[in-house]
Amino acid sequence: MQENHSQGKRSKKKRRRSENSILAGSILLCIVTLTAVTICLVMVFQYRAVQQKNTAVMSELEAIRLKEEAAYNQAEVDAMIESAVEEAKEKTGEEVEERILDRLKGFMTSGQGTTEMLRSFFPDEIVVADAGQYYFFPILEALAKNTYDPDSFLADRDGVMHYYEDGNLASRKGIDVSRYQDRIDWEKVAEDEVDYAFIRLGIRGYTEGEILEDETFERNIKGALKNDIDVGVYFFTQAMSVEEAEEEAEFVIESITPYKVTYPVVIDVEAVTSAKARGNDLTSEERTKYCIAFCEKIKEAGYTPMIYGNLKTFMLLLNIEELEEYDKWFAYYDDKYYFPYEFKIWQYTNKGTVSGIKGDVDLNISFETPKEIDEEED
C-alpha cells in the first residue's frame, strides 16, 4: 500500500510538471507569436515610410524635369533614391519604434483589427483589405471630398442613423429591398418613417449573362409609391461590354417608365465570389468604361445616375477618378464611414429592422431631397 501511495505521488508530480511544461510552452509560443507580429508590422511601417519618401523624391524629380527638361540622368536619380531610403531608415530609430510599439499594444489590447490599425498609421492614404492583402491608395487632391462632420451622425436607440446641421435634422431615412425581403407591408414601412426606398429592378446573371427582372420589383415599387415613399431603383450589373451595359440601362429605363422615380437610378457594381462569374477577369479600365456607358444612358433618359459600391468597388474594381461626375452610394457597415470622397447616400448597415419587413434590411442615410418631376411627366 505504501509503495502504491508513493507511486501515486510521483505520478501526480509528473503530471504537474507536464502541465507546467505545456503551460510554459504555450506562454512562450504566445510571446514568440506576438513578437513576430510586432516585428512584421514594424517592418511594414518602415517599408511604407521608405515608399512614401521615394514617392516624394520622384514627385520632386518630376517637377524639376518639367521645369528644366530632364536635368538628371539615371545614375543621379538612383543616388537620390538611395539617399532617401537611408534617411528614412535613420528616422525609424529606437524612439520611433517605441512609439509604434506603444500604439500597437493599444490596438491589440482594445481588440481592434489590423486594418483599423493600419488606417490609423496612414491617415493620408486609403487602406483597403481584400483577400488577405492590403492596398494603399493616396487620397487624390483633384477629387471632390465630402464635407460631412463625423460627429454630426447620431444613431437613435433603434440604430437608425441621422445627420444634424446646427441642431436640425438634415438627412432622410431610407431602405433598399429585393426579393430577399419577400412580401413587404409598405403601409407599415411608411408608418416607420421611411422616406425613400431603392427597389432592386433586376440583375444580369453572372454565369449565363441573361437579364432577369427581380420577381418582387413590380409589387415593391407599386407598394412604396402607394404609401408616398420616394423610390429609386438599382440594377446589379455583370456587363462584359459597352453594348451589354447600354442594354442593361435600356432595360431599366423601359421598366421604370410607368412609375414616378424621383431618386437615382443605380448601377450596382460588386465583386462576385463565384469562380465561375463571367466578369471576374475584367480590368478596372473595362469596368469603368461599362459603368460610364450605363450612367450616360440613364442621364440621357432624364434620370439621375448613381453608382453603388463599397471600398473594394471604388478603389479596386473601378477607376474612381474617371467617375467624378456621377453620384455615389457608399456601402460601409459601421457607425463611422471611411471614405474621403463625395457620396450622396451611405448604406451603414445590412442588419436593420423596419416595421412591415421580416428579418434584416439594409438601412441608408441620404443627404439629398428627391428630384422634382413635373405633373406632365408623372
Span 70-129, pLDDT tens digits? 344 445 545 544 554 455 556 555 666 666 667 666 766 766 677 888 898 889 999 999
151-163 burial, b for 16+ CB within 10 Å, e for fewer?
A: eebeeeeeebbeb
Looking at residue 118, what is its pLDDT? 83
Q: Yes or no: say if 361 and 347 are a contact pair by the CB < 8 Å rule.
A: no
Cell of 260: 414616378
Which pLDDT score is estimated for 17?
A: 52
> What was the pLDDT predicted at 124?
93
In this predicted structure, which of 20-24, 38-42, 70-74, 124-128 has the lowest mean pLDDT? 70-74
The amino acid sitting at 24 is A
Q: Which three cell numbers stand for residue 50?
A: 521608405
Least reliable range by pLDDT among 121-125, 258-262, 366-370: 366-370
Q: What is the mean pLDDT of residues 265-281?
A: 92
User: b/e for 219-237, b at 16 or more Cβ within 10 A?
Assistant: ebbebbbebebbbbbbbbb
Residue 343 reports pLDDT greater than 60: yes
Dump pLDDT digits (tens) for 136-171.
999 999 999 999 999 999 999 999 999 999 999 999
pLDDT for position 25: 47
Question: What number is the average pLDDT over the span 340-365?
Answer: 97
Contact 308, 331 (CB under 8 A): yes
- Tracing cell 516624394 back to the chain, one arrives at 56
Mean pLDDT of the chain: 81
Q: What is the mean pLDDT of residues 242-254?
A: 98
Residue 59 — pLDDT band, cuts 50, 70, 90? very low
- Cβ proximity of 360 and 350 under 8 Å: yes
- How far CA 200 is from CA of 61, 103, 193, 236, in Å, comes to 50, 44, 20, 8
d(CA 299, CA 268): 16
Residue 251 confidence (pLDDT) above 50: yes
306: three-class secondary structure by DSSP: strand
Residue 49 has pLDDT above 60, yes or no: no
**What's the pLDDT score for residue 8?**
47
Q: What is the pLDDT of residue 258?
A: 97
Q: Is the pLDDT of residue 353 over 70?
A: yes
3-state SS, residue 119 = helix
Percentage with pLDDT > 90 across the chain: 61
At 237, the amino acid letter reads T
pLDDT at res. 51: 53
- Is 66 a residue whose pLDDT tops 80? no
Give the amino acid at 333: Y
Residue-level pLDDT at 131: 85
Cell digits for 189?
A: 414601412
pLDDT classification of 26: cutoffs 50, 70, 90: very low
Interatomic CA distance for residues 91 and 87, integer angstroms: 6
More confident residue, 10 or 261: 261
CA 326, 244, 297, 272 torsion-angle sign = negative
Q: What is the average per-residue pLDDT within 13-39?
A: 48
Which pLDDT score, from 0 to 100, does residue 227 have?
98
Which span out of 96-110, 221-235, 263-277 was modeled with the highest average pLDDT? 221-235
CA dihedral 138, 144, 150, 151 (to 10 degrees): 130
Bridge partners for 203 per DSSP: 212, 236
Residue 28 is predicted with a pLDDT of 42
**Which pLDDT score is estimated for 117?**
81
Name beta bridge partners: 231: 197
In 227-377, alpha helices (H): 242-256, 284-300, 311-312
Whether the per-residue pLDDT at 306 is higher than 70: the answer is yes
